[in-house]
Structure formats: C-alpha cells, structure tokens
Structure 1
Amino acid sequence: MAVPSVFAAFDKDRDDKVSVSELWCCTKATLGEDVPEEEAAVALAAVDTDGDGLLDQEEFSRLAADDHEEDDADVKQRCLREAFGMYASSSAEDTITPASLRRTLSRLGSHELGVEECTAMICRFNLDGDGKLSFDEFRVMMMA
C-alpha cells in the first residue's frame, strides 16, 4: 500500500491532516494492540515540523519511514537475540562457549566439528579474549 493511501486511511475526517486521535485509533487497529495515546502524541510531535499538532502528508511520510526503520532494527535485534540464544550456554553467563557451540552445531547436523575447531571459530570474533562470545561479539560476527 502506498503512503498516500495509508495517509488517507489514517485521515478519517478527510481534512488532509492526521491528528493524535486519528493516529492512535489507526495504530491500534493496525497493530492489534493497545498503544498508549501518549506514545502516538510523542510520535506525532517528533515529525510535526510546522508545530500545528497535526501531520500533513509529508510529515506522515517521515513518520512512516522512521517507524519502518525502527521496526527493521527491532526485528533484526530480536532475530539476533533468538539466534544467540540457540548457541549460548545454559549458564547464567549468557555467552557462547566452545562446548555450547559444538553442542548446537551437532544438533544441526555438524557432527565432525571438535571443541578445538569451535574454539578457533570463537577466537576470530572474541574481542575481549575470554574464550567466549558475548551477545555484542556475536552481533559483530553476524554483521561481518
């Protein structure tokens, strides 16, 4: 759906502006969850360049673009967390150890890797030299 069509769907009173209440109602309907009206007001204010408390099509387009970028970042972060969780050791440390890496790879069908190979894989991205991958180190590895 193109942004003008989305804008028209949000602009319930057809005044070529989207108010906080219109934004809130449509966001709630679109997301299927109760988003606080205060969050809609903050989002609107963030892109309301003329300060009239309403969004015209250009401002609405910026809001849609910003939300899409944030959603992509959130999705990437959540996916990385889930992937990290698959490999992380079950200890409270929340790290990927050579043993936890080998165990997960074995479950995925890579039985030929030994702990030495897993250690070598971890060393490549182990920035702090502790022999384990933290989430931040895992993120660097996945983005490389």
Structure 2
Amino acid sequence: MVASSELRTVFATMDADADGRISAAELQVCMRATLGENVTAEEAEALVASADADGDGMLCEAEFLKLALHCDAEDEDRTRGLREAFGMYEMEGEGCITPASLGRMLGRLGNERGIGECRAMICRFDLDGDGVLSFDEFKIMMSA
C-alpha cells in the first residue's frame, strides 16, 4: 500500500497551477507524463467526478487521497486473486507455471491441451524466454 506522504507528493506534482486542487485536465496530463497512461478527457473527468465529494469538479488533497487509496486497495485485492489463480496453475512448488502444470490444470478444467500447445501458450507471455511463466508474466497474461 502506498504511504499517504507519497500520495501527498504526487498530489503536489499533479497540481500544476498550485491552487490546491486537481482538475481533470491536470490529472490527464500527469497520468500520461508520470504513468504512461493515455487517459481520455472523458475518463479523467469521470475519475474526478467519482471522488469529487464537494461537487466543485476538482479534487482537493483529501478527495485525491481517498481516490488513490481506494484504487490501491482494489489493486491489492486483484493481486491476491491473481496469486490464488497462479497457485492453481503452478502446482509444482517451483514458483512458475510450466507447460506440464498448465496442461494438467487445463485438463482438470475440461480443456485438454497437448504439451506443444501449452508451450506455445506460455511462449506468448514468457518475457524472459525461460520457457515458464513467473507471477509477473502471469499478471500480464491475465491483463491481456
């Protein structure tokens, strides 16, 4: 979980005009510059509206912190769920998904696949080329 002091620093960075509030436009520009996220104006406005408690169309620091902490908690829940799913496929205690373990789990789910097909499925998301999926590679696969 991100510390509030870090989020306050992020808020200050996003508050380009230093008025103590973040507009949808400031949020959009900063998300693109700092996170590489291409957020449309409509998406930025929707994000601001989702946390804008006082209805002024802007995020004060408290509203921003609440939004950021809520998003952080959702990320933690998602990661926990992905770890559980990863553990089901991993099955060998090696900390990775092998073609054999993928094939066994798919078979249990009624979707039989040969070892060659499982290798090909893994290869698509195997970023380091080691022939298996790490948890980080699995997260990327699940986001695709």
TM-score past 0.5 threshold: yes
Aligned residue pairs total 95
Contact 2:24 2:44 in 1 (8 A): yes
> Hey, what's the Cα distance between the residues in 2 that align with 1:77 and 1:30?
27
**Which consecutive segments of 4 or more residues in structure 1 shift more than 6 A?**
none
* Counterpart position of 1:74: 78
How has the CA–CA distance of structure 1 residues 55 and 86 changed in structure 2, closer, same or farther, with 3 Å as cutoff? same
| 2: CA distance, partners of 1:43 / 1:6 | 16
Aligned Cα root-mean-square deviation (Å): 2.3
Aligned partner (choices 4, 19, 26) of residue 23 of structure 2 = 19
Alignment gaps of 5+ in structure 2:
92-103, 112-144
1:70 offset after TM fit, Å? 1.2
Identify the residue that residue 84 of structure 1 maps to in structure 2: 88
The share of aligned pairs that are identical, in percent, is 34
Alpha-carbon distance between aligned partners in 2 of 1:39 and 1:76, rounded to the nearest angstrom:
26
Match in the other structure for 2:39: 35
22-31 or 66-75, which deviates more: 22-31
What TM-score do you get using the length of structure 1 for normalisation? 0.56
Mark the runs of 5 or more structure 1 residues left unpaired by the alignment: 96-144
- 1:39 counterpart letter in structure 2: E
Amino acid across the alignment from 1:82: F
